[in-house]
Amino acid sequence: MMDQNTSRGIAAVRRVSRQQNMAGVYGTLAELFQVPDRYRTATEITAGNSLFHYVVDTDETATQLLEVLQKERSGRVTFMPLNRLHPRPANMPKSNDAIELISKLNFDPMYEKAFQQVFGKTVICPNLQVASQYARSHGVNAITPEGDRSDKKGALSGGYIDPRQSRIEAVQALFKLRGEEETHRARTEQLRREIEALDQEISRAVGELQKAEQRRTRSENSYEPLQQELRSRLLELQSTEDGISKKTKAKAQIESNIGELGAQQNAYENELTSAFKKNLTTDEEQQLEELNSSIPSLRKELLKLSNTRSDLEAHKSSIEVELRENLMPRLDQLKSQRFKDASDSGSRLRERQTELEDTVKALTAADHQLRESEKALEQATAEVANLVKELSNKTTSLEELAKTMEKARRQSNKRASKRAFILEKVAEVSRNIRDLGVLPESAFTAYTTMSSSKVNSRSIAINLTLTFLGS
């Protein structure tokens, strides 16, 4: 519904103002107001191409934007700087059949000058006859709700207007779609940042998982050598206890033998020191002789046993010394070392088990978090896909709307050509009227109630009469 240069220029102005964050660029006139459906056609006809004039705060802002458009060759735009607009008040009629068009528009008061400039001298009348009267009497532009217009110079314009091809409605729809597009783009950017954050979180979780796996591997590698060392220490302690038990039994046996030999020696010594009496029988004397004869052998055996005893005592002493100085301290040391090693091993084992449990818990939590992150990533991906699909649909709708706008523009050009042709005919008729001379006042009112078909038939009859008379 606008020419290509204006469309490119408006798009360039929006882009430049957004990139440079210019606060004084407000938008096209059509984007800055709302109007009821009943007066939409009248508003469009009154504004014309002014609907696409760009409202800015100052002429400096407009100059800056124009320089960019000139430099980039980005089309043409008409700006309305509010600081340079000084609309003059019009002589508006005070009547119920003449409504100020600007009173039906809903806009921000800061844009008052721009709307006064375009709509401030236009009134809405119920029909074209009333509009013509107010246009001549008050010097204003009068228009009907259907779009038939009479300006203060006396020109009349009108005809059929397709309400489905409304510029204001199209601009508002485009503005709404542009807002939705910005919303979807912001949502897409937010989802992209969330996906990046999830990727970073997943990377951190994978790193923590790898660290936990390394700690678990180190714990497993250090646990096996500790078990082997503990088993070897237990075997060594068991072997030492078995040796001590054997030596303790040998010691007890030796002490028992020594006691028996000592008792036998005491009995012999007591017998030797006792008084010898001769009142023995023959058998007893014979037995005594035998005993006396066996004394040397017994003494030899006693000496031998004494030597053996001395050797055993010496051996016993050496065993006691060995037991007292070497074996018992070694046993205590081994027991202490066993308890210490068992305690240390148990403590280290408990530490390793605790660390292993913590590692398993961390691994489980990381796995759960990873699954949650994957689920969130899948949901975000699905949402992005839906948004992309919706954006594609919106783009298709925009393309169809652009095609419709282009078609309407061509039709508008055709209507403009037709209007120019009609204006030429009107000018020709006006020249013919001027050639007829000054008309009476009744000529302006006599045919207002006559239908157009009757006027055409009378015009044809008069032309035929004039042609006949001329011939």
Query: Is residue 324, in this structure, part of any structural domain at all?
Result: yes
Asked whether residue 305 carries a pLDDT value surpassing 70, the answer given is no
pLDDT band, very low/low/confident/very high, at 439 (cuts 50, 70, 90): low
Buried/exposed 115-135: b ≥16 CB within 10 Å, e otherwise:
bbbbbbbbbbbeebebbbbbb
Q: What is the DSSP-derived secondary structure letter of residue 34?
A: E
- Residue with more model confidence, 324 or 203: 203
Query: Is residue 91, in this structure, part of any structural domain at all?
Result: yes
Highest mean pLDDT out of 296-310, 340-354, 447-461: 447-461
Burial class (CB in 10 A: 0-12, 13-18, 19+), 293: exposed
Residue 447 tokens read as: 């045919």
Query: What is the predicted pLDDT for the residue at 299?
Result: 61
Mean per-residue pLDDT, 94-102? 84
Place of tokens 């013509």: 132
Query: What is the predicted pLDDT for the residue at 72?
Result: 86
Residue 169 near residue 389 (C-beta atoms within 8 A): no
* Co-location of 152 and 234 in the same domain: no
Query: Is residue 195, in this structure, part of any structural domain at all?
Result: no
Residue 376 tokens read as: 């969130």
Beta bridge partners, 100, equal: 123
* Co-location of 372 and 245 in the same domain: yes
pLDDT tens-digit series, residues 362-379: 667 666 766 776 676 677
Mean per-residue pLDDT, 141-146? 86
DSSP secondary structure string for all residues of 367-416: HHHHHHHHHHHHHHHHHHHHHHHHHHHHHHHHHHHHHHHHHHHHHHHHHH
Residue 26 near residue 57 (C-beta atoms within 8 A): yes
* Co-location of 227 and 332 in the same domain: yes
Asked whether residue 395 carries a pLDDT value surpassing 70, the answer given is no
Query: What is the predicted pLDDT for the residue at 149?
Result: 84
What CATH number is associated with residue 12? 3.30.70.1620
Q: Name the domain boundary from 340, 366, 382.
A: 382
Query: Is residue 118, in this structure, part of any structural domain at all?
Result: yes
* Co-location of 148 and 70 in the same domain: yes
Query: Is residue 76, in this structure, part of any structural domain at all?
Result: yes
Query: Is residue 469, in this structure, part of any structural domain at all?
Result: no
Mean per-residue pLDDT, 372-392? 65
* Cα–Cα distances in angstroms (integers) from residue 69 to residues 6, 188, 240, 243, 431, in the given order: 11, 30, 102, 107, 44
* Co-location of 126 and 266 in the same domain: no
Residue 252 tokens read as: 């007890």
Query: What is the predicted pLDDT for the residue at 317?
Result: 62
* Co-location of 237 and 378 in the same domain: yes
Residues 6+ apart with CB under 8 A from 17: 25, 65
Measured CA to CA, the distance from residue 65 to residue 76 in angstroms comes to 11
Percent of the chain scoring above 70 in pLDDT: 67
Q: Domain range spanning residue 16?
A: 1-161
List the alpha helices (DSSP H) in 274-327. 282-321
The residue count of the chain comes to 471
Q: Which residue, among 243, 239, 227, 242, has the nearest Cα to 341 in the 3D structure?
A: 227
Residue 123 near residue 101 (C-beta atoms within 8 A): yes
What's the structural domain count of the chain? 2
Going 397 to 400 to 406 to 408, the CA torsion angle's sign is: negative
* Co-location of 35 and 135 in the same domain: yes
Three-class DSSP labels, 225-255 = HHHHHHHHHHHHHHHHHHHHHHHHHHHHHHH
Place of tokens 């210019």: 22
Beta bridge partners, 14, equal: none
Chain centroid to Cα 148, Å, comes to 55
pLDDT tens-digit series, residues 160-212: 776 667 777 777 777 778 778 878 888 888 888 888 888 888 888 888 888 88
* Co-location of 109 and 12 in the same domain: yes
- Residue with more model confidence, 181 or 335: 181
Asked whether residue 398 carries a pLDDT value surpassing 70, the answer given is no
Terminal Cα distance for the chain, rounded:
50
pLDDT tens-digit series, residues 235-251: 778 778 777 877 887 77
Amino acid found at 370: L
Measured CA to CA, the distance from residue 469 to residue 471 in angstroms comes to 5
pLDDT band, very low/low/confident/very high, at 233 (cuts 50, 70, 90): confident
Measured CA to CA, the distance from residue 426 to residue 424 in angstroms comes to 5
Residue 59 near residue 81 (C-beta atoms within 8 A): yes
* Co-location of 11 and 142 in the same domain: yes
Query: Is residue 413, in this structure, part of any structural domain at all?
Result: no
Mean pLDDT for the chain overall: 76
Query: What is the predicted pLDDT for the residue at 55?
Result: 93
Highest mean pLDDT out of 220-234, 282-296, 385-399: 220-234
Residue 231 tokens read as: 């088993």
Residue 117 near residue 86 (C-beta atoms within 8 A): no
Q: Name the domain boundary from 161, 185, 202.
A: 161
pLDDT band, very low/low/confident/very high, at 97 (cuts 50, 70, 90): confident
Mean per-residue pLDDT, 10-34? 88
Mean per-residue pLDDT, 25-35? 89
Mean per-residue pLDDT, 116-131? 86
Asked whether residue 81 carries a pLDDT value surpassing 90, the answer given is yes
Query: What is the predicted pLDDT for the residue at 272?
Result: 65
For 3: left if phi > 0, alpha if psi spans -120 to 50, otherwise beta; the answer is: beta
* Co-location of 355 and 263 in the same domain: yes
pLDDT band, very low/low/confident/very high, at 80 (cuts 50, 70, 90): very high
Mean per-residue pLDDT, 118-126? 88
pTM of structure = 0.41
Q: Name the domain boundary from 121, 141, 161.
A: 161
* Co-location of 153 and 238 in the same domain: no
Measured CA to CA, the distance from residue 206 to residue 185 in angstroms comes to 31
Query: Is residue 398, in this structure, part of any structural domain at all?
Result: no
Q: Give the CA angle between residues 383, 388, 389 to the nearest 5°.
A: 95
pLDDT band, very low/low/confident/very high, at 428 (cuts 50, 70, 90): confident
- Residue with more model confidence, 390 or 171: 171
Measured CA to CA, the distance from residue 113 to residue 442 in angstroms comes to 41
- Residue with more model confidence, 399 or 48: 48
Measured CA to CA, the distance from residue 469 to residue 100 in angstroms comes to 50
* Co-location of 350 and 233 in the same domain: yes
Query: What is the predicted pLDDT for the residue at 56?
Result: 92
Mean per-residue pLDDT, 50-74? 89
